Amino acid sequence: MSAPLTPLEPWIAARIGGAAPLDRAALERWQLERLAATLRLARARSPFYRAHLAGAPERLASLDELARLPFTTAQALRDRPLQLLCVSQDAIQRIVTLDSSGTTGAPKRVAFTREDQELTLDFFHIGMATFTAPGDRVLIMLPGATPGSVGDLLATALSRLGAEGVLHDPLAAPGATAKAIAATGASVLVGTPTQALLLARHPAGAGVRLRAALLTSDHVPRAVVAAAEAAWGCVVYNHYGMTEMGLGGGVECAARRGYHLREADLLVEIVDPASGRRLPEGEPGEIVFTTLTRGGMPLVRYRTGDAGRFAPGRCPCGTSLKTLERVTHRLGGRVALAGAPLTMADLDEALFPVEGLVDFTATLTRAERDHLGLELRAVPGAADPCAAVHAALERIAPISRALALGQLSLSVRSSGEGGSAGPTLRKRTIADLRGEGASHQTLTG
């Protein structure tokens, strides 16, 4: 079944000096040239990369030789962020500090020049055109009070499209959000999955009608998409990005089979997380990217820690751009139960179909055996979801196996009607507290 061509294709074709339809071979030649320019800049201006790339070739003959370049890891952004800079500190317009409660020591710091942020604005402008038209009002439920923050950039990008971005408190209660949609006449919403689910299932959101929604900042469970589309009569799209990418990475087209990437700005690979070997299309591994147009703090083969794969075959929209399948988890977010992996995405997909459930936390501890404890949050008036959640947990394969082997116990409790309060802004993962060296990750975003 065909779908309208992603607006990213003609945009990227123009960026590389061509015209639609995009020529894949021309794009890859352009990427190779931009990679060479990035390597020259990094060697000349960044003390970190001058040493880091010392043993690497100055220029690659083809993208197939990317493995000859070393990886950059998050540790460099923690230990030596200033040494990654290719400009003076005066030229930096914004520095984003990324705290991780699962990591001791310094946080990551990512720096952007005005020109770097302009690249993000350009991507947001074109990407939002997938489902936003001139004259639309878009409710933005992302942080936007600080200049250069994601909400602020998105609002600016929408103005270039001829639409209006309406900044809304990300922590607002669902009643206030429903009133804001009605008062502004918003037809599009941008927010996180838990914001969307809370509004879709809360009684106050019963009258909300939208044409489209974009969910971002975390894994988007299919049950959340189904609940939002059923409640609002809209189409839900996914966005993938991270601060290190410049906030924007890729967005779904109308076919909604995965993200089309901003390939004029980012060179994305999938590698084997253990060996670092580059993997062919269709094989799952770790997402790695290289910035091609960033001047302030370029990143060469940056290991994201996200698990993903390129969808095989051509997208029904007809684009020559690659399609990155929906990212569901981080490699470090997997926990082992009786030798089998379990992710927050496994829990989300199994539990969010339970009526009335809008959020939960999951914590693993160990005494005589592993114990998985869940605390649930439900909307007002919903039946107690504990029994349904407990039954759903027992149907998840790694949990079922660990229970059968006597290596796991479960507990589920409700924190009461939490739906009257606003959403919690946090990246959701399983808090693994099983002994020394465990990942003490509170669920923060």
∠ CA 344-349-355, nearest 5°, is 120
Over 70: is that where the pLDDT of 442 sits? no
Predicted TM-score (pTM) of the model is: 0.92
437 has a pLDDT exceeding 50: no
pLDDT digits (tens, 9 = 90+) for 315-349: 999 999 999 999 988 898 899 999 999 999 999 99
| Residue pLDDT, tens place only, 297-309 | 999 999 999 999 9
Give the pLDDT score at 443.
25
Write the pLDDT tens digit of every residue in 82-133.
999 999 999 999 999 987 544 445 799 999 999 999 999 999 999 999 999 9
Q: What is the mean pLDDT of the chain?
A: 92
pLDDT of residue 103: 42
Q: Which domains does the chain have, with CATH numbers?
A: 8-117+253-328 (3.40.50.12780), 131-240 (3.40.50.980), 332-432 (3.30.300.30)
Model pLDDT, residue 425: 64
Q: Is the pLDDT of residue 444 over 50?
A: no
Is pLDDT of 440 > 80?
no
